[in-house]
Amino acid sequence: MFKWFRKDKGAPPAIEAPPPPAAMAEPSSALPEAATGVDAAIAAAADSLAPAHRPAVEPAPMPAPTPVVGTVLSAIAAPAAETERVPALFAGEEALAPEPPKPRSLRERLAASARALTASVGNLFRRNPKLDEDLLEELETALIQADVGVTASSELVEQLRVRMKKREFADANALLAALRAQLTGLVAPHARPLRIPPTPRPFVILTVGVNGAGKTTTIGKLAMRYRQAGLAVMLAAGDTFRAAAVEQLKTWGERNQVQVIAQGSGADSASVIYDALQAASARGVDVLIADTAGRLHTQGHLMQELAKVKRVLAKIDPSAPHETLLVIDGGTGQNALNQARQFHQAVGLTGIAVTKLDGTAKGGMVFALCREMKLPIRFIGVGEKREDLREFVAADFVDALLPRELGQA
């Protein structure tokens, strides 16, 4: 169903990288000898580190990145067609991955999520039910149970009710097809992948979200995605609340061979991210992705800290951050809406990534989020590995949760 790889290759990046300033925060990745440009500068910085500062975990051997910036930049600058199913950011993935990931359809990856809606709606339609009020009520219950949300479910079913009364549906299958189309219509305008435009540089992505949502993991996955697109990526360890958070981000940095800017735990998050943006600007980095804490002493503290991070970034680049990405656990259910509202109020979100949709999450909250927040859904996380991040494609998502053949079994 999915085609994830893009084979185009373009001209090498023409980015000049000045030597890193002496006072720069500690980089943590070692890169292959063949690296050039920005990578060479980063490699030099990494080489200058004393062994004691080197990461404990050896990075997996990886070939030099494929120089594809020219082609990919023009490709990613183009607006994504709503129906597009081929993400343009996976150039050369097969060269970087230790072994080629087994292609699995979204429906397979979302198996557990899909079960909730598929099972309840499937049971309804398998009996080839009569088109009546009972069917609509059972359908509404099934949607609510799958976390689609009370308001969204009622609206969806009300639209079906109107059409049913007009005798638009010949049978239950026709009604199911209409529901699928409505669900797709609900999410399609919000399926807008995050593709890095040619300017500004560095493009700054600030990730926010409650603890355990999957921020750091998503950053690791994004780092691989953009690096494989030929972009120079840097990570900022802005979660200074937990000591382990910095190590976790560094491990992702090593895996993807991207530099991580960090200070000791307990440092000021805004100052780490500020330093990182300065370093990224000085080194000609294309994409800076900042991690943040998911929990502080109180929620108020967290929101204040995030607002401060935004303020200090704007001192260097008034347009930064260019993406404020809410990472949200797909299993959060209806509380997802509260989370999204609070973060949006505090920091002004520009996109959402929904994680753990491979797990027991029901997936329906994505519809509720779209309806309520009207923010772009950038990505979905469908596993813990770095290749388990997908661009959100409306038709595929609905197809995975509510297969076309459901009523025909």
Ligand X SMILES: Nc1nc2c(ncn2[C@@H]2O[C@H](COP(=O)(O)OP(=O)(O)OP(=O)(O)O)[C@@H](O)[C@H]2O)c(=O)[nH]1
- Which residues would be at the binding site for ligand X (CB under 6 A)? 209, 211-217, 239, 245, 294, 327, 355-356, 358-359, 381-384, 388
For residue 216, state whether it binds Mg ion (rule: CB under 5 A).
Answer: yes
When CB distances are held under 5 to 8 angstroms depending on the partner's kind, the choice from ligand X, Mg ion, none that residue 76 binds is: none
When CB distances are held under 5 to 8 angstroms depending on the partner's kind, the choice from Mg ion, ligand X, none that residue 381 binds is: ligand X
Give the nearer residue to ligand X in terms of CB position, either 113 or 153.
Answer: 113
Q: DSSP string of 269-313?
A: HHHHHHHHHHHHHHTT-SEEEEEE-S--SSHHHHHHHHHHHHHHH
Give the nearer residue to Mg ion in terms of CB position, either 29 or 269.
Answer: 269
CB of 388 to Mg ion, least distance (A): 16
Give the nearer residue to ligand X in terms of CB position, either 295 or 344.
Answer: 295
When CB distances are held under 5 to 8 angstroms depending on the partner's kind, the choice from Mg ion, ligand X, none that residue 217 binds is: ligand X
Phi/psi for 358 (5° steps) reads -80, -15
When CB distances are held under 5 to 8 angstroms depending on the partner's kind, the choice from ligand X, Mg ion, none that residue 331 binds is: none
Segment holding 381, helix H or strand E:
strand 377-381
Contact 65, 231 (CB under 8 A): no
Candidate ranges 95-103, 157-165, 210-218, 379-387; the one touching Mg ion (CB under 5 A): 210-218
Write out the two tokens for 40. 């060479």
Q: What is the number of alpha carbons within 13 Å of residue 210 lying toward its C-beta?
A: 17
Give the nearer residue to ligand X in terms of CB position, either 145 or 211.
Answer: 211
**Residue in the shown chain whose Cβ atom is closest to Mg ion:** 216
Cα(350)–Cα(159) distance, integer angstroms: 29
Cα(234)–Cα(41) distance, integer angstroms: 12
Cα(41)–Cα(18) distance, integer angstroms: 7
Give the nearer residue to ligand X in terms of CB position, either 39 or 247.
Answer: 247
When CB distances are held under 5 to 8 angstroms depending on the partner's kind, the choice from ligand X, Mg ion, none that residue 403 binds is: none
C-alpha to C-alpha distances, 205 to 136, 275, 352, 384, nearest whole angstrom: 43, 15, 12, 21
Give the nearer residue to ligand X in terms of CB position, either 217 or 228.
Answer: 217
Question: Measured over all CA atoms, what is the biggest interatomic distance in the chain, rounded to whole angstroms?
Answer: 76
Q: Which of 17, 13, 41, 19 is nearest to 29 (CA)?
A: 41
Give the nearer residue to Mg ion in terms of CB position, either 216 or 350.
Answer: 216
Candidate ranges 197-205, 211-219, 352-360, 362-370; the one touching Mg ion (CB under 5 A): 211-219
CB of 353 to ligand X, least distance (A): 9
Candidate ranges 20-28, 46-54, 208-216, 376-384; the one touching Mg ion (CB under 5 A): 208-216
For Mg ion, the binding residues in 63-82 under the rule CB under 5 A are none
Judged on CB neighbours under 10 Å (0-12, 13-18, 19+), 166 is exposed
List contacts with Mg ion (CB under 5 A).
Answer: 215-216
